[in-house]
Amino acid sequence: MAQDLLETISALQNTAIGNCRKRIEDAAAKTKKILGSDPRDADEQRKCEKPSRGVTSVLKGKHGL
């Protein structure tokens, strides 16, 4: 009896873990699809890169400081 319960619990755990993994994979695929299809993403990546000039130089150029 105890062995049957342990097998049932193990099967339920494996099923739950499998379902979670599938949802995570689906969400990751959806995110990749969304991020990869937007041309604005290239602009966002460029903004995240290290600027070619320092912050002070940018402020001087924009505001004449």
pLDDT given for residue 42 in this prediction: 55
Name the DSSP letter for residue 37: H
Span 41-59, pLDDT tens digits:
555 555 566 657 777 777 7
Which pLDDT band, with edges at 50, 70 and 90, does 60 fall under?
Answer: confident
pTM for the whole structure: 0.47
User: Is there a contact between 36 and 29 (Cβ–Cβ < 8 Å)?
Assistant: no
Phi/psi for 53 (5° steps) reads: -125, 160
Write down the domain spans for the chain: 2-63
| 11-37 pLDDT per residue, tens | 999 999 999 999 999 998 888 877 666
